Amino acid sequence: MGRIKKKGTSGAAKNYITRTRAVKKLQISLPDFRRLCIFKGIYPREPRNKRKVAKGSTSATTFYYTRDIQYLLHEPLLNKFREHKAVAKKIARALGRGETGDAARLEKTHIPKIKLDHIIKERYPTFVDALRDLDDALSMLFLFAELPSTPHVPAKTIALCQRLVHEFQHYVIVSHSLKKSFLSIKGIYYQATIQGQDILWLVPYRFVQRTGGDIDFRIMGTFVEFYTTLLGFVNFRLYTSLGLVYPPKFDAKSDEQGGELGAFKLEGKAISGEDTHMMNGDEQPVIASAEAQAEADKVAALTGPDDQEEGSAAAPAEEDENTDAIDTFEATAQDADVLPQPQASNSELGSLFTPFTFFLSRETPRAPLEFILKAFGCRRVGWDSTLGDGAFTTDESDPTITHQIVDRPALPTDSLPQVPDVPETENGGAAIPKAQWPRSTMPGRTYVQPQWVWDSINQGKLLRPDLYAPGAELPPHLSPWVKPKKGQYDPNLPLEAQEPEGEAEAFEDEEEESEDEAPATASKDEKDLSHLDREGSVEAGEGMDVGGSEDDSDEEDESEAADEDWDGIESEAESDISEGEAARRQHQRELEAEATGKTVESEAPTTRSKNAEIRKKVEKKRRAEQEEKERQKMMLSQKKRKLLDRIEHGTNKRDKEAEALRKKKRRIEKAKAAANAL
């Protein structure tokens, strides 16, 4: 006879462990257990069969993998947590005795400091692994960098998050790693490509944040503690890869005055070995790391003198050819596959705003605009002095400014408040013009709205500034990560280019029918109201039940239904008049007019008749295609037919959504045309 197995000692019950048992096994408190699991990346697991794991119990229980808990038994942080608990007991005892000095001394000297360096190395063996997990870290740190200081979120934590995210932004600016950005309801999305990894993070808008009481800041603070350590390691590796000194110099006075990015001063060593400082408006040098320079020296040593001569001889020929333009691939046939077009290089995108000098008006968001403009090559960004320190210029009338970003329309001069006259300064006898938007503009300067910056970087080219002029209706701002598919609605294309044949005519007929039905509906409502008025004043013989009235009403309903059916048949018969019948009737009218000596003009086809003919042809074509599809489906097996029905259901649903959006846009365009006509 075999040995009897005890229940819950093997299988799924052995692979999982409850949270209560895990806490007892590790001999720590529940908050410390949660904190340790966040640091180590261990999360609860949901077993397939809870009854087997919980030994028949169905109560709500949190489970973990047993091997994960076994892994935590050897974690050095366990000793730190226990030491912290012991010191906390001593501090509480000292405070109970009234020995505040001893309590302060214990807190200052005996509280153990927790370092997460070894956990970062364990969880991310390679640097690419850390970059792949950087999305959530950046989103969380940018969020805490915008939060106000509260007892749950100390100012020290907020300052640390701000410093780390600004250092990361400086790397993105210097390396031109930023690729796309999008303005959404949640905030501003950014995507950067660093060492082949696409990193996407979200930055909230700078509104007044009101934190509710249902937020567990202890859990979020644990994540922030881990993410700050992670981003510190990543920033150090990124800066050293470019030959920059980390951490960069920080000007606390400039930061207090709102300098933000301008409060950091990057330092690095160029290839020549001289120290290089980069600030707002300075030229950015070519920086290379020691490893990259060593590899370049090896390649140069391997190249022989003959190769160098051949390269020098071929250089003029290559310079004559213009290789700046990007080749475009065109399809050989109309129905051929769309060839993927080459994209602009990083150097071209990074120098998109290099030749320009921007000035940000007071109403524009300075922080995201400064970051994006500098990330795409602009080295001269100015703004009003009220927006903070670190601007290239605070003078709005600076003649070197080529573009000014404004976010309010131009108003009539009479509606603006009066300002005191300021004497204009003269330079060599000529008065310097003062530009104060929206009272006056500078000649030769381009005024655009902030969306122009985002749309230009997403499309990789400078868009027409007149479409983004102050007060102009802006084009749709679409997500750069969502590409329109065939059959879907595309706001950038005109309706004529994406609507199927006959849809515009059907829309016009629907609008005319709705206009015609409006007075009829009103008259019907009047009849109903008159009937209600008559019911209010009951005369003799009214409001009484008469025998056989129900039968009479039924007969009347049947007769009305028959009349409606007959009217429908007549309307269909009239609408289905063939072209030959219409020609015969026209010929009959001409003969009658000739007999009576009158002249008759041929009836010009109305718009409704034209639309009816077009819709009739489209419907006939659609019916033929549907019949052909049904014939083809008959040859398929039942399994493939069901799969095809599911595909067609999704396609029809997508087409209906696109049709509804096109109708909405057509109504908006019609309303705009009517408003412009007035």
Is residue 328's pLDDT more than 80? Answer: no
Same domain, 140 and 261: yes
**Is 441 or 235 the better-scoring residue by pLDDT?**
235
d(CA 439, CA 395): 16
Give the number of other Cβ atoms within 10 Å of residue 224's Cβ. Answer: 21
Same domain, 615 and 678: yes
Give the number of other Cβ atoms within 10 Å of residue 505's Cβ. Answer: 18
Q: What is the pLDDT of residue 518?
A: 54
For residue 665, tell me if it sits in a domain: yes
Q: Among 390, 403, 415, 557, which residue's Cα sits nearest to residue 468?
A: 403
User: What does the block give as tokens for 569?
Assistant: 């048949």
Residue range 612-630: average pLDDT?
Answer: 79
β-strands 381-383, 358-360: how paired? parallel
Q: Quick: pLDDT tens for 581-592.
A: 667 777 777 777
For the chain, percent of residues with pLDDT exceeding 90: 35
Contacts of 392 (CB under 8 A, 6+ apart): 280, 281, 357, 379, 380, 381, 382
Given pLDDT bands bounded at 50, 70 and 90, which one contains residue 651?
confident
For residue 99, tell me if it sits in a domain: yes
Same domain, 457 and 498: no
Q: What is the pLDDT of residue 287?
A: 44
Q: What is the pLDDT of residue 537?
A: 43
For residue 41, tell me if it sits in a domain: yes
Residue range 133-137: average pLDDT?
Answer: 94
Same domain, 91 and 135: no
Contact 32, 79 (CB under 8 A): no
Write down which residue in 226, 255, 278 finishes a domain: 278
By CB neighbour count within 10 A (0-12 exposed, 13-18 middle, 19+ buried), where does 63 fall?
buried
Q: What is the pLDDT of residue 506?
A: 63
Q: What is the pLDDT of residue 117?
A: 92
R_g of the chain computed on alpha carbons:
38
Q: What is the pLDDT of residue 451?
A: 95
Same domain, 231 and 365: no
Q: What is the pLDDT of residue 58?
A: 73
Q: What is the pLDDT of residue 455?
A: 94
Given the structure tokens 């033929």, which residue do they identify? 624
For residue 332, tell me if it sits in a domain: no
Residue range 255-263: average pLDDT?
Answer: 89
Given pLDDT bands bounded at 50, 70 and 90, which one contains residue 8?
low
Residue range 112-140: average pLDDT?
Answer: 93
Same domain, 264 and 234: yes
Lowest mean pLDDT across 182-196, 350-364, 422-436: 422-436
Is residue 546's pLDDT more than 70? Answer: no
**Is 338 or 611 the better-scoring residue by pLDDT?**
611
Max mean pLDDT among 161-165, 427-431, 631-635 falls in 161-165
For residue 644, tell me if it sits in a domain: yes
Q: Map residue 74 onto helix, strand or coil.
A: coil
H-run or E-run covering 145: helix 134-145
Contacts of 670 (CB under 8 A, 6+ apart): 511
DSSP of 596-650: HT---PPPPPPHHHHHHHHHHHHHHHHHHHHHHHHHHHHTS-HHHHHHHHHHHHH
3-state SS of 523-542 is HHHHHHHHHHHHHHCCCCCC
Whole-model pTM? 0.70
Same domain, 102 and 125: no
User: What does the block give as tokens for 420?
Assistant: 């005191």
Q: What is the pLDDT of residue 539?
A: 41
Given pLDDT bands bounded at 50, 70 and 90, which one contains residue 346?
low
Residue range 521-548: average pLDDT?
Answer: 44
Q: What is the pLDDT of residue 340?
A: 55
Contact 131, 194 (CB under 8 A): yes
Q: What is the pLDDT of residue 621?
A: 81
- CB burial string 255-278: b at 16+ within 10 A, e below: beebbbbbbbebebbeeeeeebeb
**Is 545 or 77 the better-scoring residue by pLDDT?**
77
Number of domain units in the chain: 4
Same domain, 126 and 86: no
Write down which residue in 278, 297, 319 finishes a domain: 278
User: What does the block give as tokens for 271?
Assistant: 């290839």
Residue range 565-580: average pLDDT?
Answer: 46
Q: What is the pLDDT of residue 122?
A: 93
Given pLDDT bands bounded at 50, 70 and 90, which one contains residue 503?
low
Q: What is the pLDDT of residue 61?
A: 87
DSSP of 305-353: HHHHHHHHHHHHHHHHS---SPP----SSTTSPPPPPPPPPHHHHHTTT
For the chain, percent of residues with pLDDT exceeding 70: 69
Q: Which amino acid, residue 635?
A: M
For residue 464, tell me if it sits in a domain: yes
Max mean pLDDT among 16-30, 315-329, 648-662 falls in 16-30
For residue 614, tell me if it sits in a domain: yes
Same domain, 265 and 162: yes
Same domain, 226 and 137: yes
Q: Map residue 518 onto helix, strand or coil.
A: helix
β-strands 446-448, 197-203: how paired? unpaired
Q: Which domain holds residue 260?
A: 117-278
Residue range 173-184: average pLDDT?
Answer: 94
Residue range 52-75: average pLDDT?
Answer: 86
Terminal Cα distance for the chain, rounded: 99
Given the structure tokens 């500078």, which residue do they identify? 442
Residue range 645-658: average pLDDT?
Answer: 84
Same domain, 91 and 130: no
Residue range 595-619: average pLDDT?
Answer: 66
d(CA 360, CA 442): 14
Could you give the angle at which helices 30-40 and 77-97 cross, rounded to 10 degrees? 150
Q: What is the pLDDT of residue 591?
A: 78
Q: CATH code at 439? A: 3.40.50.10190
Q: What is the pLDDT of residue 642?
A: 87
Lowest mean pLDDT across 132-146, 392-406, 501-515, 615-629: 501-515
User: What does the block give as tokens for 478?
Assistant: 């679409």
Lowest mean pLDDT across 230-244, 327-341, 546-560: 546-560
Is residue 29's pLDDT more than 60? Answer: yes
Q: Among 225, 235, 22, which residue's Cα sits nearest to residue 115?
A: 225
Q: What is the pLDDT of residue 347?
A: 64
Residue range 561-587: average pLDDT?
Answer: 53
Is residue 318's pLDDT more than 70? Answer: no
Write down which residue in 220, 255, 278 finishes a domain: 278
Q: What is the pLDDT of residue 594?
A: 74
Q: What is the pLDDT of residue 404?
A: 94
Contact 508, 611 (CB under 8 A): yes
Q: What is the pLDDT of residue 152?
A: 87
For residue 309, tell me if it sits in a domain: no
Given the structure tokens 């603070």, which residue do they identify? 221
**Is 314 or 217 the better-scoring residue by pLDDT?**
217
d(CA 10, CA 53): 10
Q: What is the pLDDT of residue 544?
A: 38
Is residue 323's pLDDT more than 90? Answer: no
**Is 511 or 238 the better-scoring residue by pLDDT?**
238
Q: How confident is the prediction for the chain on average, in pLDDT?
A: 77
DSSP of 488-515: S--TTS-HHHHSPTTHHHHHHHHHHHHH
**Is 293 or 587 the better-scoring residue by pLDDT?**
587
Give the number of other Cβ atoms within 10 Å of residue 134's Cβ. Answer: 22
**Is 550 or 186 the better-scoring residue by pLDDT?**
186
Q: Quick: pLDDT tens for 263-283.
A: 999 988 644 344 445 544 444
Is residue 522's pLDDT more than 80? Answer: no
Given pLDDT bands bounded at 50, 70 and 90, which one contains residue 137?
very high
C-alpha torsion sign, points 387, 390, 393, 394: positive
Residue range 367-387: average pLDDT?
Answer: 92
Cα 368 versus chain centre, distance: 15
Q: What is the dihedral of CA 253, 257, 261, 267, to 10 degrees?
A: -20
Is residue 309's pLDDT more than 80? Answer: no
By CB neighbour count within 10 A (0-12 exposed, 13-18 middle, 19+ buried), where does 387 fall?
buried
Same domain, 133 and 224: yes
**Is 493 or 552 the better-scoring residue by pLDDT?**
493
d(CA 446, CA 465): 7
User: What does the block give as tokens for 369?
Assistant: 């605009």
